[in-house]
């Protein structure tokens, strides 16, 4: 009896038939899991915003989608370290200045989100709250005030500005004051293969203005970038859910809102 005949006899047996039935039942769930894994690896992945460092662009409680194909793929593109630890990025591209990106800070396992301010070779400095890139002050225009949600759930109105970065990108920022510890920095020259990140709430963001040696973010390697924050899927004001009720805590106005 050859192996083909043996195989047919095994699967003709009631136990073999049960095995076949189980395998057929598993086929669709396994395919679905594989498709989800492929989608979150190669296309996009959802992330949650736990802090207000990117207000007014991103609010505490936003659920965002990071487009992974925007900058190519690295070891950090796949959860659980399943992607090979290659040098650089596969199909890689450097983020543009002004992009809002999701990344893993050096030495951290949780993802952060900030805005790219400095590219490799750029000279970045903040003087009295004003941003300078390569020795030129970045233009910003007053835009009234905006409402900031603090970590306690309280709301505070602070000055709001529109900042015009080199290259044509403009976006809103909050600037509470101009003499905070982060409002006056030394010049930073961004190393090759790294990025300088800042939060849009300039007085409430632990970012590249604080070196890693001092507990801050420091420069971010391009290899650590996960993807570009592209879309707000939804938003839930969990800090005030007890006051507004679980249904009232949903921010419907932010549903499917593009990240600028």
Yes or no: say if 202 and 146 are a contact pair by the CB < 8 Å rule: no
Cβ-count burial 229-253 (b if 16+ within 10 Å, e if not): bbebebbbbebbbeeeeeeebbbee
What is the three-state SS of 87-130? CCCECCCCCCCCCEEEECCCCCCCCEEEEEEECCCCEEEEECCE
Yes or no: say if 174 and 158 are a contact pair by the CB < 8 Å rule: yes
Report pTM. 0.81
User: For residue 71, what is the DSSP state?
Assistant: S
CA–CA dist 229, 163 (Å, integer): 19
Tell me what pLDDT residue 238 has.
84
CA–CA dist 165, 171 (Å, integer): 8
Per-residue pLDDT tens over the stretch 151-195? 888 899 999 999 999 998 999 999 999 998 899 999 999 999 999
Per-residue pLDDT tens over the stretch 5-25? 444 454 455 654 554 454 455
**200, pLDDT greater than 90:** yes
Quickly list H helices, 218-259.
241-248
Residues of the chain with CATH 2.10.109.10: 44-258
> What is the average per-residue pLDDT within 42-68?
89
44-258 CATH pick, 2.10.109.10, 3.20.20.10, 3.30.420.40, 3.40.640.10: 2.10.109.10
Nearest to 249 by CA among 236, 230, 233: 236
Yes or no: say if 151 and 52 are a contact pair by the CB < 8 Å rule: yes
Nearest to 197 by CA among 54, 47, 50: 54
Which residue numbers are catalytic?
53, 114
């Amino acid at each position: 009896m050859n192996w083909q005949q043996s195989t047919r006899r095994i699967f003709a047996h009631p136990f073999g038939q049960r095995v076949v039935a189980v395998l057929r039942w598993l086929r669709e769930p396994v395919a679905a899991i594989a498709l989800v894994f492929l989608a979150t690896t190669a296309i996009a992945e959802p992330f949650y915003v736990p802090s207000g460092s990117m207000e007014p662009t991103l609010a505490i409680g936003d659920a965002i989608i990071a487009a992974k194909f925007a900058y190519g793929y690295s070891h950090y593109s796949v959860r659980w370290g399943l992607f090979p630890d290659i040098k650089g990025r596969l199909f890689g591209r450097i983020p543009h200045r002004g992009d809002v990106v999701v990344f893993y800070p050096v030495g951290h396992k949780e993802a952060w989100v900030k805005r790219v301010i400095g590219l490799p070779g750029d000279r970045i400095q903040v003087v009295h709250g004003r941003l300078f890139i390569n020795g030129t002050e970045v233009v910003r225009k007053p835009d009234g005030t905006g409402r900031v949600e603090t970590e306690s759930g309280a709301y505070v109105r602070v000055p709001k500005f529109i900042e015009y970065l080199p290259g044509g990108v403009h976006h809103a920022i909050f600037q509470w004051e101009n003499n905070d510890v982060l409002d006056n920095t030394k010049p930073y020259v961004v190393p090759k293969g790294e990025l300088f990140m800042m939060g849009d709430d300039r007085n409430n963001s632990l970012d590249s203005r604080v070196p890693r040696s001092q507990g801050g973010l420091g420069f971010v390697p391009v290899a650590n970038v996960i993807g570009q924050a592209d879309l707000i899927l939804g938003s839930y004001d969990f800090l005030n859910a007890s006051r507004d009720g679980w249904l009232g805590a949903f921010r419907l106005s932010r549903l499917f809102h593009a990240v600028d």
